[in-house]
Amino acid sequence: MSSLKEIRTRITSVKTTRQVTSAMKMVSAAKLKKAQDAILKIRPYANKMHQIVTNISSDIDENRDSVYTCLREPEKILIVLISSNRGLCGGFNLNISKKAIERVLMKYNMQYQLGDVDFLCIGKMGEKQVKIHDMKVAGSYNELLDTLNFDNVF
């Protein structure tokens, strides 16, 4: 049977754990709210992009030979790699970087051998992976999403 002192110590330990858990819950709620707000801010961009793509695709006549619709071998490749600035998102950063690098090596290997493949990295983690694989980074925008608002775009 446990002594009174052990029981009191256990009660104190449980209370401390409850306080830590409560604090973590509040921090998580704040981070979730921030993420939800960021999604709502980006929604107008997504809607505008959808509208632009719809307008462009409706204007293209499939029967005409066009610079935009003909198939050709690309000479220079620019891969836009979007990742986070920090970890804390499971395997997302590593998986998205691996897929992009794999795509370059499988589909654009000839251009890669000629040095005609560049990466435009949005986020520090993707840039880090590209540099680990000794691939060219044409540009890096690590703080882009921190100050994103509609006025900065147009």
Contact criterion met (CB below 8 Å) for 31 and 24? no
The Cα 44–Cα 50 span in angstroms is 10
* 35, 38, 89, 138: the active-site residue: 89
The number of beta carbons lying within 10 Å of the beta carbon of residue 10 is: 11
Kindly calculate the radius of gyration of the chain based on its CA atoms and give it in whole angstroms: 24
C-alpha torsion sign, points 52, 54, 58, 62: positive
Cα atoms found within 13 Å of the Cα of residue 59, Cβ hemisphere only: 7
Q: Is 89 a catalytic residue?
A: yes
The Cα 96–Cα 110 span in angstroms is 22
The Cα 104–Cα 118 span in angstroms is 10
Residues with active-site annotation: 89
